[in-house]
Amino acid sequence: MPAVIPAPGAPATPRLPALPPLTLYVHVPWCLRKCPYCDFNSHEARGEVPEAQYVDAVVADLEASVPRVWGRRVHAIFVGGGTPSLLTPQAVDRLLTAARTLLPVEAGAEVTMEANPGTFERERFLGFRDAGVNRLSLGIQSFSDAHLAAIGRVHGAEEARRAAAFAVETFGNVNLDLMYALPGQRVGEALDDVREAIAFAPAHVSAYHLTLEPNTLFHRHPPALPDDDAAAAMQEGIESQLAGAGYDHYETSAFARPGHRSRHNLNYWRFGDYLGVGAGAHSKLSQPDRIVRETRWRQPRAYQLRAVAGEAVETSAEVPAEELGLEFMMNALRLAEGFPAALFAERTGLALAAVEPALARAEAAGLLERDALAIRPTARGRRFLNDLLALFLPEALSPGKR
């Protein structure tokens, strides 16, 4: 694979001036039922979830990980899945207590947990709040029974409404996840979902276009989806409605009221570091002269056995210097405001000149704009993000492509 050409006199390997911010991700791999569109590491719970053994494994994983992040402050925690709200509040409390005991978690850190409306119980949600969760991300997807059934969700529209109302009342800082371009969905129905979400006044809304990912049931047996024109109309209408309700469209699929951008996800998009623990979790950890990616064992049973033996990490590999430009841009160019030009060198350890050919081509194609302070995708670049990112593939940055 051709190497990225560094700036004259720059080192061939990354040299980070300072380590980036660090967040913690905890993965809970079980769901009530595997959704046909989901390609995350999730497994249908058959019988009782072995939460005590799983929490033992995650705590052991955390303990073994401490030396790799020694002394670094954790700015946010995200408990994702799967369906973390399958756990009892006592298990969540134990996880968060272990994290705060083993790692220097910043005072007032954002602590997000994903929840499924199908697991909604007042006492359970109150227990999550008391355990230290201060931001809830609720997987609504739609407020239509027909569309929820079409995408295999276990909850109905009324459960979604009750869960959303109680979550906003209890946590205040709530994200409502929506999906659009669902099987059989019309443009007006997608906009109805957004209007109903706005009526609950959540702090944050995520709106995702349903895509048919490999290794999913929908990919093997594709449903009839709205055509490209209808999907584009849905996207434009959703963006317009949310903007009119005071939500800032700060990332490809993310909309926030002032002061409520997701801190954990912003750290991803700004190419910060994250320690991922739990079955199938991923980590990105920087050192002054390298950036390392880790993955945990995917199967819950294998993970539990390995983690308690101090072997939770299945793979660990340095990110090659020639891939850092693409990895950075895959995250940072999702942000509507883009990134400060200096951030590229701060987070990759490479000179910005390493990706100058791609920046110039993207600018010429109307996909990107830049000034002395920032580099950002244009409206066209945000709409055709894959085309923009393709310019940063290592082979596109080879000398012959300049």
Per-residue model confidence as pLDDT tens digits over 220-278: 999 999 999 999 999 999 999 999 999 999 999 999 999 999 999 999 999 999 999 99
Return the pLDDT at 5. 39
Q: How far from each other are the two terminal CA atoms of the chain, in whole angstroms? A: 16
Return the pLDDT at 4. 38
Return the pLDDT at 14. 80
- Residue 297 inside a domain? The answer is no
pLDDT (tens digit per residue) in 141-172: 999 999 999 999 999 999 999 999 999 999 99
Number of folded domains in the chain? 2
Task: Indicate the SS3 state at residue 370.
Answer: strand
Return the pLDDT at 148. 96
Helices 157-171/122-131 angle, 10° precision: 40
Domain that holds residue 80: 22-267
- Residue 369 inside a domain? The answer is yes
Query: Domain end: 267, 285, 311, which one?
Result: 267
The contacts of residue 138 (CB under 8 Å, 6+ apart) are: 114, 115, 116, 117, 163, 164, 167, 174, 175, 176, 177
330: CATH: 1.10.10.920
Query: Domain end: 235, 267, 299, which one?
Result: 267
Gap between the Cα atoms of 52 and 125, Å rounded:
19
DSSP summary character for residue 117: G
List the structure tokens of 230.
């209808």
- Residue 206 inside a domain? The answer is yes
Return the pLDDT at 46. 83
Return the pLDDT at 398. 59
The contacts of residue 217 (CB under 8 Å, 6+ apart) are: 34, 36, 37, 152
Return the pLDDT at 23. 98
- Residue 286 inside a domain? The answer is no
CA dihedral of 139, 117, 110, 241, whole degrees rounded to 10: 50
**Minimum mean pLDDT range among 61-70, 114-123, 307-316:** 114-123
DSSP secondary structure string for all residues of 28-71: E-EESS--TT--SS-EE--SS--HHHHHHHHHHHHHHHGGGGTT
Return the pLDDT at 395. 79
Gap between the Cα atoms of 300 and 308, Å rounded:
12
pLDDT (tens digit per residue) in 372-390: 889 999 999 999 999 999 9
Contact 173, 127 (CB under 8 A): no
**Where does the pLDDT of residue 12 fall: very low under 50, low under 70, confident under 90, or very high at 90 and above?**
low
* 238 and 336, same domain (yes or no): no
